[in-house]
């Protein structure tokens, strides 16, 4: 029996927590203190009535480490539910990004950026004579691809929200917890 | 003030009383003065004034471990809280239930770098099971009740309540404990029945089984230890305990193999390596226990029962994991064994015991004590005689500091009951033993409480002798004085080419005079023939005693599994060094 499985997996984990001071620090401290990776993290209150927030994080590690991460998260006191969206059946993942392209006076780049934005269903949310800000949503891979295409056209700034994710089907974290 | 309105400080005292607190270990300061005022106005809770906040937490640990109750600590803001951090970390690592109340600067000054301010919740977040900052007085009672609930349920641990001074003064309403239900924290205590059935099937079919049990059994209460005894005796299987688990299974039972791990017995470690079924109850596969992970018990089916899911599959992958309270699981396992009419595989088990007896015959704890008058005292002899001469006393409690003496105590003092042995296992905190003994003695005034110490460790919380004097606590401090940080010296000898860098204890105090200056009695023994009389004299004195037992400075603690080595690769004694066994990977391990 090998104690360590060398293959690394990427997992998206959703955590429903009490929205109280320090709860995010507990989650982040757990990752840094135990040497786990956080690749993406989003957090916002989702249940104002019961003051509960949802943290969605993407992490990677061996199967044993992923199991440890989930067990360690579960034992934090203000945590209601830990759900491994990667393991627990199909899920949808979306990310939003704002991408600023500064084309200066290069008219062709300006047209090309609009054309690519159209293909990716990105919206123009700000426009000046020599720049655009695009808003794009989608799976992280789609956003990576969009950024890749925009980079040579004059990528000037970039802001990504991190992954928001949810299991497909009718059940959710907010029920029954 | 109307009847049900009280100040925050009064609410705190009421909540502590309702949580069955009878003793607080603490130290006053500016940010907790209202609490000390409320303490002054009542008689239900006794306060023990320590001399350093680290001592307060260790004392509360000793109290908690010897009684099974939650230990309670009260410290001031800033340095009071930071001084408590070592104790809190110790309690976290060893799963000891503690509630620590820390004063804080008034709410409006938080974040202003006020006098004696520190970010207590930030600093203690990684070293507590949970912590709270209470900013509204009406949340205080509820928070205290929650803190006790969290500290004692599931895998126990320390909880800090950071309490700003203005909240201590503010008026609010008290809430009784029964009105408080925790929103999120509900640990699993009952095992899945099918998993236990499956476990018993595997256990009944074992040919070379071993029970490997840890502090979880002690934490689950005396009934868990009783159920473990029943199960081990029913099966006829061998049992080994971790350092934290000593006392859960009686050391005088022939089925007991002694402690396992780095300084565990030859028979326990080889039985772990060669077993076909390992039954882990309440132990966490600590690196001091497993040695080299890739060669840890390679051919066994491993069953693990633990209340903490994060202790399962952390270091060692197990075949059957059961999340449950050790006591409940053990009682159920006993029931299943009897109900199913299971019988051990007698021929296989006899062969296994035959093998174990051969390992036992190596007598791995042998040491050579020269008995001629004037001979130097071997530390093992001193501790062994201490155990033998106190064996017929009821209610003996042993604490230790950290190092060689701690391992010798674990090897040579037989514990036949749980809650009699307090040692810093996970964190390895030098300076733990004296304040822990203090906490034990407060909880058990008539018991014989002995801190087995080294001369280096004892210096780390020596100030607590003053607390012992103030409360007339007759703790016995038994120093095996070898003038070295013995375990550091041992590693330097075995692993660092005998370069004894900074491990010699120069300029030690005269411990006899030191004892006298604190109103205690000091005794000294330097020759083998003085050992028994000194121990007898120590036991006859109903006051604090420091015994300065001068022992062989060169003695090493064996057996020893060098860092990074496997269970079969033990150094059995000074003549068994053989080739240099520590690999380069092993050298970097602590």
At a CB cut-off of 8 Å and minimum separation 6, what does B459 contact?
B508, B509
Interface residue A18 vs chain B (CB under 8 A): yes
Interface residue A63 vs chain B (CB under 8 A): no
- Whether residue A111 has pLDDT greater than 70: yes
Terminus-to-terminus CA distance in chain B, angstroms? Answer: 58
Per DSSP bridges, beta strands B277-281 and B209-213 are parallel
pTM of the model: 0.95
User: Given this structure, which CATH class describes domain A92-160?
Assistant: alpha beta
* Tokens encoding B117: 């301010």
Shortest CB distance from A3 goes to which of B122, B185, B293?
A: B293
Which backbone phi and psi does B154 adopt, to 5 degrees? 65, -145
pLDDT per position as a tens digit, B449-483: 999 999 999 999 999 999 999 999 999 999 999 99
Distance (Å) from the alpha carbon of A121 to chain B's nearest alpha carbon:
42
Residue B473 carries which DSSP code? -
pLDDT per position as a tens digit, B204-244: 999 999 999 999 999 999 999 999 999 999 999 999 999 99
Domains A9-88 and A92-160 share a fold: yes
Interface residue A78 vs chain B (CB under 8 A): yes
Contacts of A74 in chain B (CB under 8 A): 309-310
Q: What stretches of chain A adopt beta strand conformation (E)?
A: 8-18, 40-47, 52-62, 79-84, 91-102, 123-128, 131-138, 155-160, 164-167
- Whether residue B577 has pLDDT greater than 80: no
What pLDDT is stored for residue A1 in this prediction? 34
Contacts of B126 in chain A (CB under 8 A): 29, 33
* Tokens encoding A130: 């020599």
At a CB cut-off of 8 Å and minimum separation 6, what does B293 contact?
A3, B287, B315, B316
Nearest to B559, CA basis, from B301, B363, B370: B363
* Tokens encoding B156: 């126990």
Phi-psi region of B20 (alpha: psi -120 to 50; beta: other; left: phi over 0): left
Q: Which CATH architecture has domain A9-88?
A: 2-Layer Sandwich (3.30)
What pLDDT is stored for residue B584 in this prediction? 73
pLDDT band at B585 (very low <50, low <70, confident <90, very high): confident
Residue B504 carries which DSSP code? B
Contact across the interface for A3 and B316, Cβ inside 8 Å = yes
* Tokens encoding A168: 């497909």
Q: What average pLDDT score do residues B416-442 get? A: 98
The reply to whether ipTM tops 0.85 is yes
Q: What angle do CA B61, B65, B69 make, to 5 degrees?
A: 90
Per DSSP bridges, beta strands A91-102 and A164-167 are antiparallel
Contacts of B312 in chain A (CB under 8 A): 71
What pLDDT is stored for residue B497 in this prediction? 94
Interface residue B317 vs chain A (CB under 8 A): yes
Residue A76 carries which DSSP code? S
What pLDDT is stored for residue B443 in this prediction? 98
Shortest CB distance from B126 goes to which of A1, A33, A78?
A: A33
CA B145, B149, B150, B151 dihedral sign is positive
Burial class of residue B80, CB neighbours in 10 A (0-12, 13-18, 19+): buried
Distance (Å) from the alpha carbon of A161 to chain B's nearest alpha carbon:
26
Is residue B307 within 8 A of residue B187, CB to CB? The reply is: yes
Interface residue B358 vs chain A (CB under 8 A): no
Contacts of B130 in chain A (CB under 8 A): 76-78
Nearest to B567, CA basis, from B310, B316, B378: B316
Q: What's the CA gap between B428 and B290, in Å, rounded?
A: 17
Q: Which residue has the tokens 């990977």?
A: B585
Minimal Cα distance from B185: which residue of A? Answer: A77
- Whether residue B303 has pLDDT greater than 60: yes
Interface residue B184 vs chain A (CB under 8 A): yes
Nearest to B54, CA basis, from B19, B13, B79, B86: B86
Nearest to B386, CA basis, from B533, B487, B265, B546: B533
pLDDT band at B343 (very low <50, low <70, confident <90, very high): very high
Q: pLDDT exceeding 70 applies to what percent of chain B? A: 98
Contact across the interface for B317 and A29, Cβ inside 8 Å = no
Nearest to B436, CA basis, from B420, B422, B457: B422
Contact across the interface for B310 and A75, Cβ inside 8 Å = yes
* Tokens encoding B470: 């103030």
Shortest CB distance from A67 goes to which of B183, B185, B313?
A: B313
Domain boundaries, given as residue ranges, for chain A: 9-88, 92-160
Minimal Cα distance from A78: which residue of B? Answer: B184
The catalytic site residues of B sit at 53, 115-116, 165, 487
Which residues in chain A (145-174) have CB-CB distances under 8 A to chain B? none
Contact across the interface for B298 and A1, Cβ inside 8 Å = yes
B159 strand-pairing partners: B99, B130
Interface residue A128 vs chain B (CB under 8 A): no
- What is the CA A35 to chain-centroid distance, rounded? 20
Average pLDDT over chain B reads 96
Q: What's the CA gap between B18 and B6, in Å, rounded?
A: 15
Is residue B408 within 8 A of residue B487, CB to CB? The reply is: no
Contact across the interface for A3 and B315, Cβ inside 8 Å = yes
Is residue B344 within 8 A of residue B204, CB to CB? The reply is: yes
Q: What average pLDDT score do residues B308-331 get? A: 96
Q: What average pLDDT score do residues B189-206 get? A: 96
Contact across the interface for A18 and B183, Cβ inside 8 Å = yes
Contacts of B317 in chain A (CB under 8 A): 1, 3, 64
- Greatest Cα pair distance in chain B: 79
Minimal Cα distance from B290: which residue of A? Answer: A3
Is residue B65 within 8 A of residue B398, CB to CB? The reply is: no
Per DSSP bridges, beta strands B476-481 and B545-550 are parallel
Nearest to B28, CA basis, from B6, B3, B56: B56
Contact across the interface for A18 and B184, Cβ inside 8 Å = yes
């Amino acid at each position: 029996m090998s104690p360590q499985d060398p293959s690394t997996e990427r997992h998206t984990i959703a955590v429903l927590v009490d929205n109280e001071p320090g709860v995010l620090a507990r989650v982040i401290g757990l990752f840094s203190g135990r040497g786990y990776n956080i690749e993406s993290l989003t957090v916002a209150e989702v249940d104002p009535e019961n003051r509960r927030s949802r943290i969605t994080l993407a992490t990677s590690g061996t199967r044993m480490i992923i199991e440890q991460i989930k067990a360690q998260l579960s034992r934090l006191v203000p945590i209601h539910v830990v759900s491994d969206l990667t393991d627990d059946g199909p899920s949808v993942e979306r990310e939003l990004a704002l991408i600023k392209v500064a084309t200066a006076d290069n008219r062709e780049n300006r047209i090309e950026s609009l054309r690519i934005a159209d293909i990716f269903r990105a919206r123009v949310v700000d426009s000046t004579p020599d720049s655009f800000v695009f808003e794009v949503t989608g799976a992280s891979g789609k956003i990576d691809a969009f950024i890749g295409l925009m980079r040579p056209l004059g990528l000037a700034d970039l802001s990504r929200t991190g992954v928001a994710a949810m299991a497909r089907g009718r059940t959710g974290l907010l029920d029954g917890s | 003030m109307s009847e049900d309105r009280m100040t925050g400080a009064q609410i705190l005292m009421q909540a502590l009383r309702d949580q069955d607190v009878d003793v607080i270990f603490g130290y006053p300061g500016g940010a907790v003065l209202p609490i000390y005022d409320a303490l002054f106005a009542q008689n239900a809770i006794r306060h023990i004034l320590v001399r350093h906040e680290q001592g307060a937490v260790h004392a509360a640990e000793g109290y908690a471990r010897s009684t099974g109750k939650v230990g309670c600590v009260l410290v001031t803001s800033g340095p009071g809280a930071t001084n408590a951090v070592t104790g809190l970390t110790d309690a976290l690592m060893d799963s000891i239930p503690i509630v620590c109340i820390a004063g804080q600067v008034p709410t409006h000054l938080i974040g202003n770098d006020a006098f004696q301010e520190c970010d207590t919740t930030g600093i203690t977040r990684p070293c507590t099971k949970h912590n709270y900052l209470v900013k509204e007085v009406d949340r205080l009672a509820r928070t205290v009740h929650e803190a006790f609930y969290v500290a004692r349920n599931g895998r126990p641990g320390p909880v800090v309540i950071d309490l700003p001074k203005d909240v201590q003064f503010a008026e609010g309403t008290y809430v009784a404990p029964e009105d408080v239900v925790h929103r999120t924290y509900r640990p699993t205590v009952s095992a899945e029945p099918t998993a236990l059935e499956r476990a018993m099937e595997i256990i009944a079919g074992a040919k070379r089984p071993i029970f490997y049990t840890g502090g979880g059994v002690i934490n689950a209460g005396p009934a868990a230890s009783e159920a473990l005894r029943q199960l081990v005796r029913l099966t006829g299987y061998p049992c080994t305990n971790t350092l934290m688990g000593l006392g859960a299974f009686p050391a005088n039972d022939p089925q007991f193999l002694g402690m396992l791990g780095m300084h565990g017995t030859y028979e326990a470690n080889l039985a772990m390596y060669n077993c076909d079924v390992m039954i882990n109850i309440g132990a966490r596969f600590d690196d001091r226990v497993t040695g080299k992970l890739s060669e840890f018990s390679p051919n066994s089916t491993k069953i693990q029962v633990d209340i903490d899911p994060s202790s399962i599959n952390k270091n060692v992958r197990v075949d059957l994991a059961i999340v449950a309270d050790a006591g409940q699981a053990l009682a159920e396992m006993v029931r299943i064994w009897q109900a199913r009419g299971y019988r051990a595989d007698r021929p296989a088990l006899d062969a296994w015991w035959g093998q174990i007896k051969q390992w036992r015959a190596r007598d791995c704890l042998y040491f050579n004590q020269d008995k001629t008058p004037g001979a130097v005292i071997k530390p093992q002899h001193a501790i062994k005689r201490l155990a033998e001469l106190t064996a017929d006393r009821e209610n003996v409690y042993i604490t230790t500091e950290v190092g060689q003496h701690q391992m010798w105590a674990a090897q040579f003092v037989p514990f036949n009951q749980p809650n009699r042995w307090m040692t810093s296992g996970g964190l390895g905190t030098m300076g733990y033993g004296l304040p822990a003994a203090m906490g034990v003695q407060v909880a058990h005034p008539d018991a014989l409480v002995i801190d087995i110490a080294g001369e280096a460790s004892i210096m780390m919380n020596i100030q607590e002798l003053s607390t012992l004097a103030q409360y007339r606590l007759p703790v016995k401090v038994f120093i095996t004085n070898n003038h070295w940080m013995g375990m550091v010296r041992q590693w330097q000898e075995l692993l660092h080419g005998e370069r004894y860098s900074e491990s010699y204890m120069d300029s030690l105090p005269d411990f006899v005079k030191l004892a006298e200056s604190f109103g205690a009695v000091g005794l000294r023994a330097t020759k083998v023939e003085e050992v028994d009389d000194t121990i007898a004299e120590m036991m006859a004195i109903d006051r604090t005693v420091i015994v300065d037992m001068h022992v062989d400075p060169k003695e090493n603690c064996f057996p020893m599994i060098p860092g990074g080595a496997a269970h079969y690769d033990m150094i059995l004694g000074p003549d068994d060094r053989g080739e240099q066994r520590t690999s380069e990977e092993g050298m970097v391990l602590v």
